[in-house]
Structure 1
Amino acid sequence: MTTEKTTEHIGFIGLGLMGHGMAKNIVDKGYPLTVYARSDSDAVADLLQRGATRADSPQALGAQATVVFLCVTGSKDVEALIRGPNGLASSLRPGSVLVDCSTADPTSTVALAAELAPLGITLVDAPLSRTPKEAWEGTLDTMVGADAAIFARIQPILATWAGRIVHIGALGDGHRMKLVNNFISLGYAALYAEALTVAKAVGIAPERFDAVIRNGRMDCGFYQTFMGYTLDGNKDAHKFTLKNAYKDLRYLGSMADAAGISNSLGNAVKNSFGLALANGGEDLFVPMLPELVGQLNGVDLTPKPPQ
């Protein structure tokens, strides 16, 4: 529990794979917490028994909170929660802070901030890195776009669920950096998937492939998580869907286009995920990409059943 008295009342919307763990850490560490969810779930029940309260609309949540966190899929969801007829903009009081932890389109982020500013509401972007496991443990990474005073105000709240907090710059820079970050990680995923497929096609099994890469110069934390499915059949190795990955790569392409940058590798990675989605990957997670790429090439990369 936090030992310092706080005047902040936290609102949280988006109790999915990441949001549940984040909200759990906020309430467990002493902050008053109100949540909104469109339907009942195990996450809602868990948070209520930990001491959170529940609002019946974003508007009702906004009327109670001084700092609101959003952890939803993308910009369309964020825009609807803020601008809707029962949205946050209609009830948040002057001086409130709205923290968008989604992976969003920076153009939308900047536009929303301009709409909220005359109401005295500050928008902050604080997208996430790592997995639901770290969300539950309170050790996520976050990259924050905010001015210095607002960053200082929200940092203690961020620290309830983040082990690494980087003040990356001004509004929008968090979402910009997150898209670059995801381009790198999803680029790795596409590269690993194709490399595993080529290796298997020429007679090198994933286990032999891994024996060379793991603990070598090409190893990294993302690789180790990513290989959890191919090697061990762990479907929960990294609960990040191919659908969301494809959305993030579309945002990256849009950002690169606006900056006048050739994004040839980004487009190649996006196409790899798009092809996987078109061939049965709608609800699958990123570490399952090698299996789909293998199938498209007549190569069996189905993992062994978990022991």
Structure 2
Amino acid sequence: MTKPVVGFIGVGLMGHGMARNIQSAGYPLVVVAHRNRTGVEDLIERGATEASSIAELASQCEVIQICVSGSPQVEAAIRGDGGIATNAAPGSVVIDSSTSNPVSTLQLAEELAERDIPLVDAPLGRTPKEALAGTLDTMVGADDATFARVEPILTCWAGNIVRLGPVGAGHKMKLIMNFISMGYAALYAEALTISRKAGLSVEQFDAVIGSSRMANGFYETFMKWSLERDETAHRFSIANAHKDMRYLTALALDVGAVNPVQSAVRNSFAAMEAVGQGEKYVPMLADFIAAGSGLTEEE
């Protein structure tokens, strides 16, 4: 059986590994230019075709996977004369693996449905390391028939696939998941600062917390920066964290949920981005919070 041609928009830190695994599974792959050419060039060397525009990609592909930074970028890829909605054939399917605003996702799903193009939301859990290994987590919103169509592609890059319900459910769950993980980050950063101010070292902090029931996978990658200065362990930017927390605030307001803790978490990332440190990675929040209490890296 001939495999469908897959188009991939957004071959960055996460998308490159995902696209590579789709390609390795035997799917013909079409990519479009990304601001960082490294991933594009690697995929072309492995046999992918490069489209000159999203319109060209959409016209060639039966399945279009999007992995970009947020809803504005997804909307730009889908809408307009040069977008997917106008140029993809009826019966094509779009998979959005970005961390997007569910309100936008549902609007886009309605617009694409008018052209007989179903939208699947399949946002991601874990890191670029797992993207390359093909062991990401994904939480999926799709109807039965569409999920059956895309599941073989999802299995190329995901080790854990949880279907939650109709379109939009995946993006809602992803925001809640990121609230928990970014809440960990804000909590760890503040706890580390208090510990250091109280005369306890980062190593002492880790010796107790890292061997306790409070340790987890997020803790391990977060602490690699404070312990080892390993900036590659958790490559998720402050700007993206802040964006996700803004989306969750909007979701909380939309559903009428109170969110005092989430507001405090959001403000930790807002403050760091406001002073021009948005491109730093989330574990570096520990240094930012420490600096606010007068600590330097050496102390």
Determine if the TM-score, normalized by the shorter chain, exceeds 0.5: yes
C-alpha distance in 2 between matches for 1:82 and 1:26: 21
SS at match of 1:47: helix
Is the 2:3–2:28 Cα contact (8 Å) retained in structure 1? no
C-alpha distance in 2 between matches for 1:211 and 1:244: 30
* Equivalence for 2:37: 41
C-alpha distance in 1 between matches for 2:36 and 2:199: 49
Identity among equivalent pairs (%): 53
C-alpha distance in 2 between matches for 1:238 and 1:152: 32
Deviation of 1:40 (Å): 6.4
Is the 2:12–2:34 Cα contact (8 Å) retained in structure 1? no
Bigger Cα displacement from structure 2, 222-231 vs 293-302: 293-302
SS at match of 1:119: coil
Bigger Cα displacement from structure 2, 33-42 vs 70-79: 33-42
Deviation of 1:278 (Å): 2.1
* Equivalence for 1:269: 265
Q: 1:141 to 1:203 in 2, by over 3 A?
A: same
C-alpha distance in 1 between matches for 2:298 and 2:47: 43
AA at the equivalent of 1:20? H
Deviation of 1:85 (Å): 2.5
Q: 1:173 aligns with which of 169, 173, 198?
A: 169
Q: 1:1-307 maps to which residues of 2 (within 5 A)?
A: 5-38=1-34, 41-301=37-297
Q: Per-residue CA shift, 1:249-270, capped at 9, x if unaligned?
A: 0000000001111111110000
C-alpha distance in 1 between matches for 2:297 and 2:265: 20
C-alpha distance in 2 between matches for 1:40 and 1:270: 28
SS at match of 2:114: helix
List alignment gaps of at least 5 residues for structure 2. none
Is the 2:3–2:26 Cα contact (8 Å) retained in structure 1? no
AA at the equivalent of 1:115? E
Normalised to the residue count of structure 2, the TM-score between the two structures is: 0.98
| Number of equivalences | 299
Q: 1:38 to 1:240 in 2, by over 3 A?
A: closer
AA at the equivalent of 1:111? Q
AA at the equivalent of 2:98? S
Q: Per-residue CA shift, 1:207-266, capped at 9, x if unaligned?
A: 000000112111101000100100000011111000000000000000000111111111
Q: Per-residue CA shift, 1:2-32, capped at 9, x if unaligned?
A: xxx3331100000110000000111111000
List alignment gaps of at least 5 residues for structure 1. none
C-alpha distance in 2 between matches for 1:206 and 1:156: 44
SS at match of 1:200: helix
C-alpha distance in 2 between matches for 1:69 and 1:302: 44
Deviation of 1:116 (Å): 0.8
C-alpha distance in 1 between matches for 2:232 and 2:110: 39
Is the 2:12–2:36 Cα contact (8 Å) retained in structure 1? no
Q: 1:235 to 1:137 in 2, by over 3 A?
A: same
Deviation of 1:292 (Å): 0.7
C-alpha distance in 1 between matches for 2:8 and 2:112: 18
Is the 2:245–2:266 Cα contact (8 Å) retained in structure 1? yes
SS at match of 1:254: helix
C-alpha distance in 1 between matches for 2:282 and 2:239: 9
